[in-house]
Structure 1
């Protein structure tokens, strides 16, 4: 049994999120939460909310024990890029890419692969 939570169209680059999600992969939920709370990255706030949501889904929808959960899968895929234009010297235009990402967390119970 697995519980998942997904955040779509997060206004942060997937490259920045992957730095943080590599630290919590295959960790128990409590330890992953501690790592995220002490990580000074912008992605950690989004991942704390997402991890809480996945844990709540596991408890409420799948009757899983919150103390036996671990982060089985976590990944960030690239979302659509918002393209903006910034004026530059001599009438030129410079493209600004505001990247988004789709983040998914999958929790499983220990001992039940």
Structure 2
């Protein structure tokens, strides 16, 4: 059975969040948490919290064994972008997009 946790409207771009995904996908949940804990990326900290939430959901809501959980899938989608403007030369303005992301972590219990 699959259990998921989502984090929405995170103030980091999806491109930066996708960096640590390949490291944790398919790994044991505890091992994935350890890997994320020691990665020197902001994205790893955000992913760590979401994975912790997915593990807690599996343990509390569905009474699954935490030692048998495996990270099945991690999905990072675009959220809405905040539009800001920076003044430029000769009275012009340059647009700045402050991107947001939605993260979904799916864990499942192995047999």
Alignment TM-score, normalising by the size of structure 2: 0.97
Distance 1:28 1:78 in 2: 27
RMSD: 0.7
Shift of 1:55: 0.4
Secondary structure of the equivalent of 1:49? helix
What residue is the counterpart of 1:10 in the other structure? 10
CA displacement 1:22-52 (0-9 Å, x = unmatched): 2111110111011101111111111111111
Shift of 1:71: 0.3
Structure 2: where are the runs of 5+ without partners?
A: none
Is residue 90 from structure 1 mapped to residue 90 from structure 2 by the alignment?
A: yes
Is residue 30 from structure 1 mapped to residue 30 from structure 2 by the alignment?
A: yes
Runs (4+) of structure 1 moved beyond 2 Å?
none
The number of aligned residues is: 111
Structure 1: where are the runs of 5+ without partners?
A: none
What residue is the counterpart of 2:51 in the other structure? 51
Distance 1:11 1:20 in 2: 17
What residue is the counterpart of 2:106 in the other structure? 106
Is residue 77 from structure 1 mapped to residue 77 from structure 2 by the alignment?
A: yes
Secondary structure of the equivalent of 2:71? strand
Alignment TM-score, normalising by the size of structure 1: 0.95
